[in-house]
């Protein structure tokens, strides 16, 4: 069993001077392209006896600049929550996770300061892996050539990695994953991610309406800018028992019963009743059924849910788990 990674929100690290092998990026979704980067990071860290280290940013730099410029429409949708991203990075054998807060101070940091403060003094970097077009520092003035020159002075090697393509030659990227999720194309999202799309979170109390109409739900908060298309899905719920539980889930703002509500994932478990409040569950998305709708009344909504549940049962009868 892999040891839990060290998570740092400030640099330099307070508890170690161990030399690091480092890669830098947003890693939203930790898709197959990211997984190739992480595999190379782990390989080199093992060979050189370095700490495999991922530096990522919170919030996403594009989200920060969109908010600062009062352009909310430019905020990128979010594939994975911070919890899910960190868990995926841990699964792919990152030993150290650096959550660098992206704020005005970081945006204004010069390229030279970025290298010296974060990479040299912050992480004792000895090997660095970045994309061929990696840019950093104030107004993105830093490039790979500057990194290589700094590496010669400070004693770290720089390796670049090209975009990762699938077996058909198509680029694997977070943008491609967002596009697939936005249209409810679960097969395409699975192909890009290397696994089915999923959202994890603690089960919270809701309005209890589902219970009163015969369809109790597990309620899980999701990122405000969740990349997945709002609507109804066939799902599996993990982590509540020793096996996956079949279900049907609604991702959205519940327009029939709520005005201006926040985005929520509500999952009805098929043929299963349990008290899950406070428990951590992972909801795995199998198939998109329909868009979220605002119904004229509760009976119409209940009839639609009846149909959704039957569609989920039909899916499992055909496909199994």
Closest by Cα among 104, 102, 125, 114 to 13: 125
Please say if the pLDDT value at position 283 is more than 60.
yes
Beta-carbon count within 10 A of 253 CB:
16
Q: pLDDT of 41-90, one tens digit each?
A: 999 999 999 999 999 999 999 999 999 999 999 999 999 999 999 999 99
Q: What is the pLDDT of residue 209?
A: 66
Last residue of a domain, one of 136, 161, 186: 161
Same domain for 302 and 207? yes
| Average pLDDT of the residues in 187-208 | 92
What CATH number is given to the structural domain containing 258?
2.40.30.30
What CATH number is given to the structural domain containing 16?
3.40.50.620
Q: What is the pLDDT of residue 254?
A: 72
Q: What is the pLDDT of residue 154?
A: 97
For the chain, give the mean pLDDT.
93
Q: pLDDT of 126-139, one tens digit each?
A: 999 999 999 999 99
Q: What is the pLDDT of residue 286?
A: 98
pLDDT band at 321 (very low <50, low <70, confident <90, very high): confident
Angle at 244 between CA 240 and CA 246, to 5 degrees: 105
- DSSP, res 197: -
| Average pLDDT of the residues in 272-287 | 94
- Give, in order, the Cα–Cα distances in Å from 209 to each of 213, 216, 302: 7, 8, 11
Same domain for 203 and 105? no
Closest by Cα among 127, 129, 123 to 97: 123
| Average pLDDT of the residues in 157-178 | 93
Please state, in angstroms and rounded to a whole number, the distance separating the CA atoms of residues 30 and 41.
14
Same domain for 299 and 228? yes
Same domain for 231 and 97? no
In a domain, 148, yes or no: yes
In a domain, 62, yes or no: yes
pLDDT band at 224 (very low <50, low <70, confident <90, very high): confident
pLDDT band at 259 (very low <50, low <70, confident <90, very high): very low
| Average pLDDT of the residues in 309-321 | 94
Last residue of a domain, one of 112, 138, 161: 161
Please state, in angstroms and rounded to a whole number, the distance separating the CA atoms of residues 294 and 258.
10
Please state, in angstroms and rounded to a whole number, the distance separating the CA atoms of residues 75 and 139.
18
In a domain, 172, yes or no: no
Domain that includes residue 24, residue range? 6-161
Q: What is the pLDDT of residue 257?
A: 55
In a domain, 239, yes or no: yes
Q: What is the pLDDT of residue 4?
A: 85
pLDDT band at 291 (very low <50, low <70, confident <90, very high): very high
Q: How many structural domains are present in the chain?
A: 2
Same domain for 237 and 121? no
- β-pairing verdict for 231-238 and 280-291: antiparallel
Please say if the pLDDT value at position 123 is more than 60.
yes
pLDDT band at 206 (very low <50, low <70, confident <90, very high): confident
Same domain for 248 and 110? no
Q: Are 109 and 138 in contact (CB under 8 A)?
A: yes
Q: Which H or E run includes 241?
A: none
Please state, in angstroms and rounded to a whole number, the distance separating the CA atoms of residues 245 and 174.
29
Query: What is the crossing angle of helices 186-193 and 174-182, to 10°?
Result: 160
In a domain, 177, yes or no: no
In a domain, 175, yes or no: no
Q: pLDDT of 144-156, one tens digit each?
A: 999 999 999 999 9
| Average pLDDT of the residues in 96-123 | 97
Please state, in angstroms and rounded to a whole number, the distance separating the CA atoms of residues 73 and 153.
42
How would you class 297 by CB atoms within 10 Å of its CB: exposed for 0-12, middle for 13-18, buried for 19 or more? exposed
Same domain for 222 and 97? no
| Average pLDDT of the residues in 247-258 | 79
Tokens coding 60: 């996403």
Q: What is the pLDDT of residue 297?
A: 87
Please state, in angstroms and rounded to a whole number, the distance separating the CA atoms of residues 74 and 60.
12
pTM, two decimals, is 0.92
pLDDT band at 23 (very low <50, low <70, confident <90, very high): very high
**Percent of the chain, pLDDT > 70?**
95
- DSSP, res 3: P
């Amino acid at each position: 069993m892999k040891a839990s990674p060290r998570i740092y929100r400030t640099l330099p690290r307070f508890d170690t001077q161990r030399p690091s092998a480092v890669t830098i990026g947003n890693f939203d979704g930790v898709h197959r392209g990211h997984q190739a980067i992480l595999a190379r990071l782990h390989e080199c860290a093992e060979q050189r006896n370095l700490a495999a280290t991922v530096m990522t940013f919170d919030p996403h730099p594009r989200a920060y600049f969109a908010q600062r410029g009062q352009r909310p429409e430019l905020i990128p949708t979010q594939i994975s929550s911070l919890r899910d991203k960190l868990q995926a990075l841990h699964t792919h054998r990152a030993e150290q996770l650096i959550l660098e807060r992206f704020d005005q101070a970081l945006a204004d940091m010069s390229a030279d300061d970025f290298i010296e403060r974060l990479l040299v003094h912050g992480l004792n970097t000895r090997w660095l892996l970045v994309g061929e077009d990696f840019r950093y520092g104030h107004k993105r003035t830093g490039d790979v050539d500057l990194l290589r020159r700094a590496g010669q002075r400070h004693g770290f090697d720089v390796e670049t990695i090209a975009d990762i393509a699938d077996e058909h030659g198509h680029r694997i990227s977070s943008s491609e994953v967002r596009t697939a999720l936005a249209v409810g194309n679960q097969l395409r999202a699975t192909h890009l991610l290397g696994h089915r799309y999923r959202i994890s979170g603690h089960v919270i109390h809701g309005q209890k309406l589902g219970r009163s109409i015969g369809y109790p739900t597990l309620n899980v908060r999701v990122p405000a800018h969740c990349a997945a298309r709002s609507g109804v899905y066939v799902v599996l719920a993990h982590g509540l028992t020793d096996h996956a539980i079949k279900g049907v889930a609604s991702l959205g703002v519940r327009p029939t019963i709520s005005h201006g509500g926040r985005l929520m994932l509500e999952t009805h478990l098929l043929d299963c009743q349990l008290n899950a409040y406070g428990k951590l569950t992972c909801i795995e998305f199998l198939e998109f059924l329909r868009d979220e709708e605002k119904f004229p009344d509760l009976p119409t909504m209940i009839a639609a849910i009846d149909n959704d549940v039957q569609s989920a049962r039909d899916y499992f009868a055909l496909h199994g788990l």
